[in-house]
Structure 1
Amino acid sequence: MLNKVILIGRLTREPELRYTPGGVAVARFTLAVDRPFTNKQGEREADFIDIVVWQKQAETCTQYLGKGRLVAVEGRLQIRSYDDSQGIRRKAAEVVADQVRFLDRPRDERQAPVAAARDTSTVAEPGFSEVNFTEDDIPF
């Protein structure tokens, strides 16, 4: 059996970070994913998919991602049931992310707190090694 989901979309809001009673980080955000067609009025439509990220990756997503950022999410679809405040049984579908890849750069300094504090001769992206270079290394 196979349960694998790959999505590319934009965050609809800032990720929300919480911790379990055991101290495990969990982040939630919603991803807007364009549909491959338009509606009758010629407008593009999107699906809004809830994403759950765990542990260190949850903290990294919260630190570097913000509303509007483009990401690829690879994970599994999970359907869970719960009772709402009126006692009605509900179901929720969400993607539990195994991997979140950042596909664009932050638009402003607030979304890149670590990169903004670094020297301009150092380039680092989350999930990649830091690269140091000098003007002599630039080929143009």
Structure 2
Amino acid sequence: MLNVIAIQGRLVRDPEMRQTTTGKSVCSFTIACDRGRKDSNGQNIVDWIPVVAWERTAEFICKYFQKGQMIVLDGRLQSRNYKDRDGNNRTAIEINANNANFAGPKSQQDAQAGGYASASGEPNIQFEPIDDDEGDLPF
């Protein structure tokens, strides 16, 4: 079976970090994703998508993202059943994020600085071209 989601949206509020009883980090948040069309009143149609991320991805998101920022996620769609406060059976559909990336700089200053980190913990470095007028590089 194939269950792959790739989505881009803005965080509706700051992500919330929690710890499970076994000590795993889990982060939950909601993104607003524009459908790219307008309703009869001329307002953009937006979907509000709940997202959950675990461990390193959760820690990365909570450290580097806040309300209003654009985020790109990939992961899988999942559903879970639960009982609400009144005892009614409910189903929640959410994205389980495997990776998170920046969709753009949060400020002009950051755009000039370059070099964001990724959810894997590795830096996403923007390299400058090398001037090899000396001819001392092997390539």
Q: TM-score, length-normalised on structure 2?
A: 0.79
Q: In structure 2, what is the Cα distance between the partners aligned to 1:95 and 1:13?
A: 16
Q: What does the per-residue CA deviation read over 1:16-65, in whole Å, with 9 as the maximum and x for residues that have no partner?
A: 00011111110011010001211011211100000101001101110110
Q: In structure 1, what is the Cα distance between the partners aligned to 2:35 and 2:105?
A: 23
Match of 1:90 in 2: 90
> Displacement of 1:129 after TM fit?
3.0
Match of 1:63 in 2: 63
Match of 1:125 in 2: 116
Letter in 1 for 2:91: K
Match of 1:134 in 2: none
Q: In structure 2, what is the Cα distance between the partners aligned to 1:108 and 1:62?
A: 21
Q: In structure 1, what is the Cα distance between the partners aligned to 2:114 and 2:93?
A: 37
**Count of residues in Structure 1 that have an aligned counterpart in Structure 2:** 123
Match of 2:136 in 1: none
Indicate the SS of the match to 1:62: helix
Indicate the SS of the match to 1:51: strand
Q: In structure 2, what is the Cα distance between the partners aligned to 1:14 and 1:65?
A: 7
CA contact (8 A) 2:117 2:124 kept: no
**1:86/1:16 Cα in 2 relative to 1: closer, same or farther (>3 Å)?**
same
Cα RMSD (Å): 2.5
Indicate the SS of the match to 1:2: coil
**1:89/1:16 Cα in 2 relative to 1: closer, same or farther (>3 Å)?**
same
Indicate the SS of the match to 1:105: coil
Q: TM-score, length-normalised on structure 1?
A: 0.78
Indicate the SS of the match to 2:27: strand
**1:88/1:103 Cα in 2 relative to 1: closer, same or farther (>3 Å)?**
same
Which of 1 and 2 has greater Rg? 2
Letter in 1 for 2:9: G
**Identical aligned pairs, as a percentage?**
35
Q: In structure 2, what is the Cα distance between the partners aligned to 1:87 and 1:25?
A: 28
In structure 1, the gaps of 5 or more residues are: 113-121, 132-136
